[in-house]
């Protein structure tokens, strides 16, 4: 809440963190605070999103910038033009389109002149649709491929403004409609975004004034309402103060702690390692049932293949692993078969008789032979517990 995240979202996020924390084992190699932070990171990733490129294709592209007055639309139009021209090597053209405020034409045209970005001056047009119809032919004639349209803003959302923006939004087929928002806007962001979303297909956001001390909670409100990615951030008043959005940097800013992604990745490794160690212990003590096999198969999937798992188990270091054990589909099928069993069957596989096998096979849509194969593999795994060092994986079939 200190980072201006809307209170409803804060509640949702903390509930998710709590749920995940309860499901996760306590890690010996992490402090509780670190473990909670790594869980918080994994939840925030969903809310913040990752960076996504502009959807620009061959032919003519239209980028419509919308937002409340004073949030930085005009400045952003010029910054985006500069970025597309000098960094991405497009041929952009700036199109001031705020007919209510002649000064805004002057402002964008001035920015275009200073920074050598072409512009199209339509201020003498009297009709919005007529003005719109001039843009594409002008691009065709002059070889421009991206039009950046700087629309009118108001101090607050009003219906006549929205109707005008909707007209512009609906006029173009291939377009990006980007909402420009001042990151310092705080808690009110949620309602403002809702207001725009009601009329327009918002495809992304640009947040300005990231050079302020605001933590950035409004980004979460934007993502929450639109489901669209934030694409850029403005980081100052100069034309080059403009960056591709970085979700991890925002999360660190929200939480007030650096490199949470690194912490999260280390925690994931520790979880995998501790799980493998537990399985080794179970192996060695001879206590190994189908539940353990399932945990093991799931962690194999999570860790990206069986070779990785065995390389982490101290006693399995030199084992040669046949290729087919890396088959993800086979692993998933085995897990599905175990899932179709009852709790009792998993703990005491010896009770699985012919009719139970048939039921399990039917429940999983596999043949009875496959259920048998799984049980045979399980028996082999179990026998191994006494003789880990002589493991011969060629005895298994998946
Ligand atoms: P518009 O009314 O939405 O078109 O907003 P303007 O582009 O005119 O910007 C309003 C004010 O915000 C201007 O003084 C800009 O210089 C300033 N501004 C825009 N983006 C940024 C930014 O990223 N950082 C800072 N510090 N100021 C910005
Ligand atoms: Mg403006």
- CB-based contacts of 164, cutoff 8 Å, min separation 6: 128, 151, 152
Matching fold, domains 61-255 and 272-395:
no
Task: Please give the structure tokens belonging to residue 127.
Answer: 């009709």
Ligand 1 site-directed mutation target among 94, 237, 240, 243, most atoms within 8 Å of CB: 237
CA nearest ligand 1 atom 28, residue: 237
Ligand 1 site-directed mutation target among 67, 68, 72, 230, most atoms within 8 Å of CB: 72
Q: What is the pLDDT averaged over residues 135-147? A: 97
Between the two ends of the chain, the Cα-to-Cα distance in Å is 51
Residue 364's pLDDT is 86
Q: What is the mean pLDDT of the chain?
A: 86
Q: What is the pLDDT of residues 335-356, one digit of tens each?
A: 889 999 998 999 888 899 999 9
Lowest mean pLDDT among 12-21, 109-118, 347-356: 347-356
Cα–Cα distance for residue pair 72/85, rounded to 1 Å: 20
Instruction: Give the distance (Å) from ligand 1 centre to CA of residue 72.
Output: 4
Among 55-64, 231-240, 318-327, the range with the most confident prediction by mean pLDDT is 231-240
Which atom in ligand 1 lies closest to the alpha carbon of residue 236? 24
Radius of gyration of the chain (CA): 29
Cα–Cα distance for residue pair 397/334, rounded to 1 Å: 11
Q: What is the pLDDT of residues 247-306, one digit of tens each?
A: 999 999 998 888 888 888 888 888 777 777 776 676 666 677 888 788 777 767 776 656
- Does ligand 1 have an atom closer than 6 angstroms to the CB of 151? no
CB 62 within 8 A of CB 149: yes
CB 182 within 8 A of CB 70: yes
Query: How many CB atoms sit inside 10 A of residue 36's CB?
Result: 16
In CATH, what is the architecture of 61-255?
3-Layer(aba) Sandwich (3.40)
> Residue ranges of the domains in the chain?
61-255, 272-395
pTM: 0.73
Lowest mean pLDDT among 133-137, 176-180, 187-191, 243-247: 187-191
Residue 307's pLDDT is 59
Q: What is the pLDDT averaged over residues 302-319? A: 56
CB 342 within 8 A of CB 348: no
Q: What is the pLDDT averaged over residues 204-232? A: 94
CB 233 within 8 A of CB 210: yes
Model confidence at 208: pLDDT above 50 = yes
Provide CATH code, domain 272-395.
Answer: 1.10.260.30
Cα–Cα distance for residue pair 293/347, rounded to 1 Å: 11
* Bridge partners (DSSP) listed for residue 119: 94
- CB-based contacts of 235, cutoff 8 Å, min separation 6: 210, 211, 241, 242, 243
């Amino acid at each position: 809440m200190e980072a201006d995240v809307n209170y409803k979202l804060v509640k949702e996020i903390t509930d998710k963190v709590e749920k995940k924390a309860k499901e996760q084992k306590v890690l010996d190699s992490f402090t509780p605070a670190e473990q909670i932070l790594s869980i918080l990171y994994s939840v925030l990733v969903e809310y913040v999103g990752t960076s996504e490129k502009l959807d620009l294709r061959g032919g003519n592209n239209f980028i419509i910038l919308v937002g409340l007055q004073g949030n930085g639309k005009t400045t952003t139009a010029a910054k985006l033009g500069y970025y597309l021209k000098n960094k991405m090597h497009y041929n952009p053209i700036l199109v001031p389109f705020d007919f209510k405020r002649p000064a805004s034409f002057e402002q964008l045209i001035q920015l275009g002149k200073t920074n050598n970005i072409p512009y199209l001056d339509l201020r003498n047009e009297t009709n919005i649709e007529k003005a719109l119809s001039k843009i594409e032919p002008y691009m065709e004639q002059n070889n421009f491929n991206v039009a950046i349209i700087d629309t009118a803003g108001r101090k607050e959302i009003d219906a006549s403004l929205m109707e005008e923006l909707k007209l512009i939004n609906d006029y173009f087929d291939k377009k990006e409609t980007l909402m420009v928002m001042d990151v310092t806007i705080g808690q009110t962001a949620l309602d403002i975004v809702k207001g725009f979303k009601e009329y327009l297909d918002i495809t992304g956001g640009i947040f300005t004034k990231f050079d302020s001390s605001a933590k950035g909670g409004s980004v979460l409100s934007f993502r929450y309402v639109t489901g669209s990615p934030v694409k850029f951030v403005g980081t100052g008043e100069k034309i080059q103060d403009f960056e591709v959005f970085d979700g991890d940097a925002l999360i660190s800013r929200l939480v007030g702690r650096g490199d949470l992604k690194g912490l999260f990745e280390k925690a994931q490794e520790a979880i995998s390692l501790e799980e493998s160690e537990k399985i080794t212990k179970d192996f060695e003590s001879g206590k190994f049932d189908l539940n353990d096999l399932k945990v093991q198969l799931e962690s194999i999937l999570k860790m990206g293949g069986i070779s990785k798992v065995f390389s982490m188990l101290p006693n399995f270091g030199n084992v040669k692993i046949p290729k087919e054990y890396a088959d993800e589909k086979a692993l998933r099928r085995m897990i599905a078969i175990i899932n179709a069993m009852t709790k009792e069957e998993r703990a005491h596989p010896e009770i699985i008789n012919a009719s139970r096998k048939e039921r399990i096979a039917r429940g999983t849509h596999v043949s009875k032979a496959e259920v048998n194969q799984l049980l045979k593999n399980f028996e082999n795994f179990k026998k191994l517990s006494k003789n880990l060092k002589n493991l011969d994986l060629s005895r298994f079939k998946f």
